[in-house]
Amino acid sequence: MTASYDQYREDRLGRANVADTPERIAYYERLATLGTGALWTVANRIEPWEPASGSVPMLWRYRDLREDVLRALDLVTPEQAGRRVVYLENKGRSDVVAAVGWLYSGLQVMAPGECASSHRHSASALRFIMEGSGAFTNVDGHRMTLGANDFVLTPNGTWHEHGVAEDGTICIWQDGLDIPLMNALDANFYEVHPDLNQAVSHPVNDSTAIWAGAGLRPAGVAWSKPYSPLLKYEWAPTYDALLRYASVTAGSLYDGVLMEYVNPHTGGPVMQTIGASMQLLRPGERTRAHRHTGSFVYQCAKGAGYSIVNGQRFDWQERDIFVVPSWMYHEHANGSDREDACLFSFNDLPVMRALGLYREEALAENGGHQPILS
């Protein structure tokens, strides 16, 4: 059997449309010996009309995973494992260990009194607390104490470590990182802290004490790093901000009441390669479908409902996690007529925007709602 070189032909002006002939095949085979190829044999494949993500929409139910996450406590020690994490593997991205696109995510568990070793890496990272008390994260000498639905940053290049206080309970949180992107870009560096654990050299929670004043910043405190000096975003003020914003806005047709976590020093994203948001769906709210570039990992922080991604319905409740690949239509619905629902999400929009690649499109047909594929 001879190779076929014309499988991507398209019969349209401006696209490659070259039939295989013996003479051409001989040419292609000769080119291959020179470390080359004929562009027209692959052009239509590598220049698609629009993005066709290799990631698939998926949902992980917390009630399905929780016991297995807890079991890791018995199976491995922190010293052996580094971190006891069950990672989420997208069916289409298992080669790069991604939950969606180039984003990694996992559920980490830690027992009271444990503290992981300190390290730093090129990947930007975040945690979103799911359950337990006493969790803390140290970042470059700053310690943040954490409760459910708190969101904390461990940016690219910062020494960081996670732990749970002696008097805490078993804690589970979601990790989000762009390890796969760092590898893809041949730019991933990793270091273990020389002392294994860093000293906490600032007052506990000083990051929020200094930087969480709305519309206020400490005078004379320089900040030139490319990530937010506000390292922790607590749930209570976040939810409060959503409620206040909801009181004066009609919200987005596609996202309800959506706020982005930002760097208060710049108004920009919290880190250079990962953004994050919290959105509120009002009782009974059902959004319309749109699609855009950028990959998203969602966690339900409050309430229950469902999302339709690329024609597939995913029902979620508190702590469930689901993903939306780039350029797939998605819409969200609050399942309750009386309670609001909140979705936390993180994404690679800062990458899309920094590189000029953000594009968005609303679904025009059917009142903006996707037909459900069976």
Residues of span 78-107 touching its own copies by CB under 8 A: 79-91, 96-97, 101-102, 104, 106
Rounded Cα distance between 312 and 324, Å, is 11
Q: Output the six-digit token pair for 321.
A: 């996690």
Nearer to its own copies, 122 or 370 (CB): 122
Task: Output the CA–CA distances (angstroms, integers) from residue 226 to 229, 239, 260, 350, in the order listed.
Answer: 9, 26, 17, 12
Shortest CB 155 distance to its own copies, Å? 9
User: Using the rule CB under 8 A, is 212 a contact of its own copies?
Assistant: yes
Strand bridging mode 104-110 / 171-177? antiparallel
Rounded Cα distance between 345 and 351, Å, is 16
Inter-residue contact 136 to 166 (CB < 8 Å): no
User: Using the rule CB under 8 A, is 47 a contact of its own copies?
Assistant: yes
User: Using the rule CB under 8 A, is 364 a contact of its own copies?
Assistant: no
Shortest CB 77 distance to its own copies, Å? 9
* Contacting its own copies within 314-343 (CB under 8 A): 325-327
Strands ordered across the beta sheet of 104-110? 104-110, 171-177, 125-131, 151-154, 232-233
Instruction: Select from 7, 169, 201, 266 the one that contacts its own copies (CB under 8 A).
Output: 266
SS3 state at 54: coil
Instruction: Select from 159, 173, 261, 298 the one that contacts its own copies (CB under 8 A).
Output: 261
* Contacting its own copies within 169-208 (CB under 8 A): 179-180, 182-193, 196, 202-203, 205-206, 208
Nearer to its own copies, 13 or 373 (CB): 13
In the block, which residue shows the tokens 């762009």? 178
- Stretch near its own copies under the rule CB under 8 A, chosen from 275-283, 299-307, 334-342, 364-372: 275-283
Shortest CB 141 distance to its own copies, Å? 13
Inter-residue contact 275 to 258 (CB < 8 Å): no
User: Using the rule CB under 8 A, is 37 a contact of its own copies?
Assistant: yes
Shortest CB 110 distance to its own copies, Å? 13
43-51: long-range contacts, CB 8 A cutoff, minimum separation 24? 43/8, 43/15, 43/16, 44/8, 44/9, 44/10, 44/15, 44/16, 45/8, 50/327, 51/293, 51/326, 51/327
- Stretch near its own copies under the rule CB under 8 A, chosen from 51-59, 130-138, 309-317, 335-343: 51-59
Instruction: Select from 22, 48, 367, 371 the one that contacts its own copies (CB under 8 A).
Output: 48
Instruction: Select from 129, 170, 324, 352 the one that contacts its own copies (CB under 8 A).
Output: 352
Does residue 142 come out as left (phi exceeding 0), alpha (psi in the -120 to 50 range) or beta? beta
User: Using the rule CB under 8 A, is 304 a contact of its own copies?
Assistant: no
Nearer to its own copies, 117 or 133 (CB): 117
- Stretch near its own copies under the rule CB under 8 A, chosen from 128-136, 308-316, 347-355, 365-373: 347-355
* Contacting its own copies within 108-167 (CB under 8 A): 117-119, 121-123, 156-157
Instruction: Select from 3, 29, 169, 217 the one that contacts its own copies (CB under 8 A).
Output: 217
Nearer to its own copies, 113 or 195 (CB): 195
Q: What are the beta bridge partners of residue 190?
A: 121
Instruction: Select from 129, 230, 301, 341 the one that contacts its own copies (CB under 8 A).
Output: 230
User: Using the rule CB under 8 A, is 236 a contact of its own copies?
Assistant: no
Nearer to its own copies, 42 or 165 (CB): 42
Inter-residue contact 137 to 102 (CB < 8 Å): no
Q: Output the six-digit token pair for 138.
A: 């140290």
Counted residue by residue, the chain has a size of 374
Smallest Cα–Cα separation from 280: which of 347, 346, 340?
340
Nearer to its own copies, 45 or 366 (CB): 45
Cβ burial 91-111 (10 Å sphere, 16+ → b, else e) = ebbeebebbbbbbbbbbbbbe
How many C-beta atoms lie closer than 10 Å to residue 64's C-beta? 10
User: Using the rule CB under 8 A, is 34 a contact of its own copies?
Assistant: yes
